[in-house]
Amino acid sequence: MQSLFAAGLFSDQVALVTGGGSGIGLATARELAYLGARVAICGRKMDKVEAGLAALAADGIPAERMLGGSCDIREPDQVSAFVGQVLERFGRVDVLVNNAGGQFPTPAEGMSPKGWEAVIRNNLNGTFFMTREVATRAMIPAKRGRIVNVTAMVVRGFPGMSHTGAARAGVENLTRSLAVEWATHGIRVNAVAPGNNIRSSGTAQYGEALLEVTRKATPLMRLGTPEEVARVIVFLASDQNDFVTGAVWGVDGGQPLWGDIWSIPDPQAEAKG
Ligand SMILES: CCCCC/C=C/C(=O)SCCNC(=O)CCNC(=O)[C@H](O)C(C)(C)COP(=O)(O)OP(=O)(O)OC[C@H]1O[C@@H](n2cnc3c(N)ncnc32)[C@H](O)[C@@H]1OP(=O)(O)O
Ligand SMILES: NC(=O)C1=CN([C@@H]2O[C@H](COP(=O)(O)OP(=O)(O)OC[C@H]3O[C@@H](n4cnc5c(N)ncnc54)[C@H](OP(=O)(O)O)[C@@H]3O)[C@@H](O)[C@H]2O)C=CC1
Q: Kindly give the pairing relationship between strand 95-98 and strand 187-194.
A: unpaired
Q: How confident is the model at residue 267 (pLDDT cuts 50, 70, 90)?
A: confident
CATH topology of domain 14-263: Rossmann fold (3.40.50)
**Which ligand has its closest atom nearest to the C-alpha of 111?**
1
Residue closest via CA to ligand 2's atom 40 equals: 19
The pLDDT assigned to 213 comes to 92
Q: Of the ranges 68-77, 82-91, 137-146, 201-210, which one carries the lowest mean pLDDT score?
A: 201-210
- Give 53's contacts (C-beta < 8 A, 6+ positions apart): 21, 41, 66, 68
3-state SS string for 56-73 = HHHCCCCHHHEEEEECCC
**Which ligand has its closest atom nearest to the C-alpha of 226?**
2
Q: Ligand 2 centre and the CA of 103: distance in Å?
A: 9
Q: Ligand 1 centre and the CA of 212: distance in Å?
A: 22
Q: Does the pLDDT of residue 268 top 90, yes or no?
A: no
The pLDDT assigned to 101 comes to 98
Burial status of residue 246 (CB atoms within 10 A of its CB: 0-12, 13-18, 19 or more): middle
Convert the pLDDT of each residue in 28-80 to its tens digit: 999 999 999 999 999 999 999 999 999 999 999 999 999 999 999 999 999 99
Ligand 2 near 146 CB (within 6 A): no
- In this structure, are residues 179 and 189 in contact, taking their beta carbons and an 8 Å threshold? yes
The residue among 91, 100, 97, 99 whose CA lies nearest residue 13 is 91
The pLDDT assigned to 1 comes to 81
Which atom of ligand 1 is least distant from the CA of 105?
46
The residue among 25, 2, 23, 5 whose CA lies nearest residue 15 is 25
The predicted model gives 125-145 an average pLDDT of 98
Ligand 2 near 255 CB (within 6 A): no
- In this structure, are residues 246 and 182 in contact, taking their beta carbons and an 8 Å threshold? no
**CB-defined site of ligand 1, < 6 Å:** 102-104, 106, 112, 114-115, 118-119, 122, 152, 196, 202-203, 206, 210-211, 214
Convert the pLDDT of each residue in 217-261 to its tens digit: 999 999 999 999 999 999 999 998 999 999 999 999 999 998 887
Residue 53 and residue 46: Cα distance in Å, rounded? 10
- In this structure, are residues 232 and 247 in contact, taking their beta carbons and an 8 Å threshold? no
- In this structure, are residues 145 and 236 in contact, taking their beta carbons and an 8 Å threshold? no
Amino acid of residue 140: I
Alpha carbon 166 to chain centroid, angstroms: 16
pTM higher than the cut 0.90: yes
Residue 28 and residue 24: Cα distance in Å, rounded? 6
Q: Does the pLDDT of residue 272 top 80, yes or no?
A: no
Q: How confident is the model at residue 273 (pLDDT cuts 50, 70, 90)?
A: confident
The residue among 105, 156, 149 whose CA lies nearest residue 123 is 149
Convert the pLDDT of each residue in 180-197 to its tens digit: 999 999 999 999 999 999
Convert the pLDDT of each residue in 95-128 to its tens digit: 999 999 999 999 999 999 999 999 999 999 999 9
Candidate from 104, 109, 122 with most ligand 1 atoms within 8 A of CB, to mutate: 104
Q: Ligand 2 centre and the CA of 22: distance in Å?
A: 8
